[in-house]
């Protein structure tokens, strides 16, 4: 019998270290997501004192799957209808956050004597620095998802994710030496709005109709497969039109949340989401490089 592939060995190492660290963090009453990140640092090549991950490319692929599951689950717990019910509050909050944080980031870059382009990139990091996946995971671990403020926070995060798509497209063009004019920016925004509207038109009519037609056949296994099929189909479609795959997963999750099977889907998807979500957060910890942190200690502390 041939030896185990390196991918399986890496996964085993991740789960063993993550299991030990998260149990410790649970005992210390700390968020599990922090435990995953610490576990990722421990198994990364930057920590030479214990066994390390060999093939980071394969782990990154698993992490990408984890992001899709996390955003899909977030969509199942939260729909765009909740944003509309909150009125203008999320939109006002996002506008104020983006303007103030972008300005603060640009000023911080000047304080360090960085170039104009470096200041712009730092400002963009400031403006869209909130991690939807980490905050959602923390709310889940701390059992805060049912609190009144949670809907507002998640609404702001979703709107920030939409803004981040525009920002990343603009920064990619700027980094490549191109300029982004008003017409291109309007085209990006129009494509986002059109795509979301198209998704919801299809979702309102097609997805509920599909689930009603096959409802009598839906065992837990079939419901899981159908839900994940829709999730990854929308993730691929989102990626093909220039958005992140996780964004597509979130949107289809929010569509399924409005169907009669929404609560049932959450229950069957949760175990898989927890597994791949753990791999994703461990992969985040693998990016921590103490040498870089030490080299840029002053800007990091100030920021």
pLDDT for 104: 92
Question: What does the radius of gyration of the chain's CA atoms come to, in whole angstroms?
Answer: 21
pLDDT for 157: 81
pLDDT for 2: 54
Q: With contact defined as beta carbons under 8 Å apart, do 293 and 299 qualify?
A: no
pLDDT for 185: 64
In angstroms, rounded to a whole number, what is the distance separating the alpha carbons of residues 116 and 105? 12
In angstroms, rounded to a whole number, what is the distance separating the alpha carbons of residues 266 and 227? 10
pLDDT for 284: 84
pLDDT for 85: 74
Angle between helices 89-111 and 148-175 (to 10 degrees): 50
pLDDT for 1: 39
Closest CA to 246 of 91, 74, 9: 74
> pLDDT truncated to tens, each residue of the chain (303 aa)?
356 677 788 888 888 989 999 999 989 888 888 888 899 888 887 777 777 776 677 777 877 888 888 888 878 876 666 667 777 888 888 889 889 989 999 999 988 888 888 888 888 888 877 777 778 777 877 777 777 778 788 788 877 877 776 677 667 666 655 555 666 667 666 776 776 677 667 767 777 777 877 877 878 888 889 889 989 988 888 888 777 788 788 888 888 887 878 788 888 888 888 888 888 888 888 888 888 888 888 888 888
pLDDT for 234: 86
pLDDT for 281: 86
pLDDT for 124: 86
CA–CA distance from 111 to each of 98, 116, 118, 190, 295 (Å)?
20, 12, 12, 36, 17
**C-alpha triplet 151, 152, 155: angle, nearest 5°:** 85
């Amino acid at each position: 019998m041939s030896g185990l592939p390196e991918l399986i060995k890496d996964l085993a190492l991740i789960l063993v270290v993550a299991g030990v660290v998260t149990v410790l963090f649970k005992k210390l009453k700390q968020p599990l997501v922090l435990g995953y990140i610490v576990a990722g640092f421990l198994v990364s090549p930057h920590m030479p004192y214990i066994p390390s991950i060999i093939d980071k490319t394969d782990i990154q692929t698993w992490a990408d799957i984890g992001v899709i599951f996390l955003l899909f689950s977030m969509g199942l717990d939260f729909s765009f209808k909740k944003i509309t019910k909150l009125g203008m509050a999320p939109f006002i909050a996002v506008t104020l956050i983006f303007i103030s944080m972008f300005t603060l980031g640009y000023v911080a870059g000047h304080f360090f004597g960085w170039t104009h382009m470096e200041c712009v990139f730092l400002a963009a990091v400031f403006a869209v620095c909130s991690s939807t996946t980490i905050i959602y995971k923390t709310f889940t671990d701390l059992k805060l998802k049912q609190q009144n403020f949670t809907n507002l926070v998640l609404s702001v995060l979703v709107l920030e994710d939409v803004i981040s798509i525009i920002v990343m497209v603009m920064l990619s063009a700027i980094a490549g030496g191109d300029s982004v004019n008003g017409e291109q920016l309007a085209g990006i925004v129009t494509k986002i709005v059109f795509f979301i509207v198209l998704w919801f038109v299809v979702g309102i009519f097609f997805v509920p109709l599909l689930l009603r037609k096959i409802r009598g056949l839906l065992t837990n296994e079939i419901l899981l497969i159908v839900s994940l099929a829709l999730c990854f189909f929308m993730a691929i479609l989102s990626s093909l039109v220039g958005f992140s795959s996780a964004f597509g997963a979130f949107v289809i999750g929010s569509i399924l949340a409005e169907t009669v099977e929404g609560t049932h889907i959450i229950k069957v998807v949760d175990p898989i989401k927890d597994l791949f979500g753990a791999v994703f957060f461990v992969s985040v910890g693998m990016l921590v490089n103490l040498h870089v942190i030490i080299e840029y200690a002053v800007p990091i502390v100030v920021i």
